Structure 1
């Protein structure tokens, strides 16, 4: 769909956004990549992985994205081909932060000197460094959602909070599912011994591995917090339901004397005692009402209701 190329210091960065068949055909003819790698590029979204060959490495990574019309977290796939004089980034769906970084480098001579001063693997390090730094904004957003829901659960306890908790848990698990295999990818970049990765780059990719570990740890902590909030919400819901049932039960029991009295004198029988004493009947009703009030007062004093 859109192919941009930046070349500096004999290093070429090819950035392809939403590739079509012609884009794939061109890179296949020029670089002679393995057919299985091209199949992965053309196919559906893949789990993060790295395949190392003598002349290049093929990397698949997933990065989180948010959508304007949804509170659910998604991911976009990035395919990377890394060789001795090139790095090719293929975005199956547009990664805004990566494109911004490409144009930032393309328009900044000083930045080009910094990024392209070593091997293409050093360019890849800067690309990944930028993308993972950008990913921390998602972690910050998830942390704010956890804090907001913590207040909602304890103070408001609305039906929406239950839905928001489920959504937040789903987002954390989604992010965790595609960041987990990236630890192996980064560890491989640290340990692999190929010409296009050898040199002093081990420490740089170790820095990338550290970013991934920090993200993964934050997600694990977030999951524990959300699980705790979910259990707390269930406990509060159960407590409120039990309290409501207790009050209704107490009210029903308290009304039994009055119910019994009205049922007894509601019969159309002339021989009932005191049936012709209208004033006395009202005194009896008043006494029963007072008894009910005293019962409720005593239950309140004992903190039962």
Structure 2
């Protein structure tokens, strides 16, 4: 039994988009190397970096510059967008996806787009890429060039961000209901993961937005066809969700301050009660300490009724402490 080595190692899927209204074709995973040579339309190759042969395949891919190969095979965890000689390549932020669920873990999508091909690589399954594939299966006629696929990838990331903002908003609503309830509760443990997630979302979103603005400002002769219009639309989308994420971050910060304020007030109330108890008990303690001395000539030591006089003196000392506290405005 012989094992057949695929022509495209690490291939997750491949689509051939044709010009006009003709639908795109999903190429088989065991396609031949000759299927990559298309004269009509463009290709989308999505590769899994877990296959160690991907780097060698990309190095031999036609019209793929070495910096783009490095961007497609890197394991760096930071976003980047580079435009050079009418091609665009780099790394985008995405969210990982399990086989049966979606997560909030950050993932990284590496991409290269030219006039004839768009190549994407990843290490873990990602949300946005799978959603774009589903959109292509539903309506492939809207993708006329590789930049259209790139725009949809970033747009799906923005839609994912909106979904996460809604989820985090619901979590903050529940925390707020407990925080502003009459019963004091410490919700900092529930709030801390939400704040951490919001901060990470805002940091990565601001990075992508800055990169898109910088890419949109390069010379027109460096841009692939259609990138200028796509970048303008994407910047508007990212700015809108950036405003929502920033507002959510501020809301979480204010809620944390409110929790700290309530806890501080509760602590001060407990200290106030303890201070009053100390103030009331200190004079009787002085009286009992005085009469507890083993010295001669103590008052009320001779005769009957000494204990009653001592208790009366303790009561008078408590009343005197109460009067002084009222006079000072503490009570």
Which TM class, normalised by the smaller chain length? 0.7 to 0.9
Once the two structures are superposed, residues 179-232 of structure 1 have per-residue CA deviations (whole angstroms, 9 ceiling, x without a partner) of 112113333554553597335x64443222122112222232223223323333
Residues 64, 175 of structure 1: 8 Å contact kept: no
Change (3 A) 1:248 1:209: same
Matched, 1:146 2:172: yes
Equivalent of residue 237 in structure 2, options 197, 211, 230: 211
1:153-182 residue CA offsets vs partner (Å, 9 max, x unmatched): 4445545x2334443332222222221121
TM-score if structure 1 supplies the norm length? 0.79
> What is the total number of aligned residue pairs between the two structures?
294
> Which of 203, 207, 216 lines up with 1:177 in the alignment?
203
3-state secondary structure, aligned to 2:224: coil
Deviation at 1:42, TM superposition (A): 2.7
- Check whether the contact 2:83–2:223 (CA below 8 A) recurs between aligned residues: no
Contact 1:84 1:195 in 2 (8 A): no
Residue 246 of structure 2 is aligned to residue 220 of structure 1: yes
TM-score, reference length from structure 2: 0.73
1:197 to 224, 231, 235: 224
Q: What SS does the corresponding residue of 2:109 show, helix, strand or coil?
A: strand
CA distance in 2, matches of 1:97, 1:81: 16
Q: Deviations over 1:140-163 (max 9, x none)?
A: 22223333333444445545x233
Query: Corresponding residue for 1:49?
Result: 80
| Alpha carbons of structure 1 residues 223 and 135: separation in structure 2 relative to 1, 3 Å | closer
RMSD in angstroms over aligned alpha carbons? Answer: 3.5
Change in Cα spacing, 1:55 to 1:190, as seen in structure 2 (3 Å) is closer
Q: Check the 8 A contact 1:28/1:38 in 2, yes or no.
A: yes
Match among 174, 186, 208 for residue 212 of structure 2: 186
Q: Does 1:99 align with 2:130?
A: yes
Q: 1:296 to 1:220 in 2, by over 3 A?
A: farther
Choose from 3, 17, 20 the match for 1:8: 17
Counterpart CA distance in 2 for 1:298 and 1:105 is 81
Once the two structures are superposed, what CA deviation does each residue of 1:77-133 show, in whole Å capped at 9, x if it has no partner? 111111112212212321034224314523x3xx012x32x2221222223222321
Deviation at 1:296, TM superposition (A): 6.3
2: CA distance between counterparts of 1:13 and 1:46? 23
The structure-2 alpha-carbon separation of the partners of 1:303 and 1:173, relative to structure 1 and needing over 3 Å to count, comes to farther
Give unpaired runs (5+ residues) of structure 2: 1-9, 19-40
Question: Mean alpha-carbon deviation: is it higher for 250-259 or for 229-238?
Answer: 229-238
Contact 2:86 2:225 in 1 (8 A): no
**Matching residue of 1:247:** 273
Look up the match of 2:257: 231
Is 2:284–2:317's contact at 8 Å kept on the other side of the alignment? no
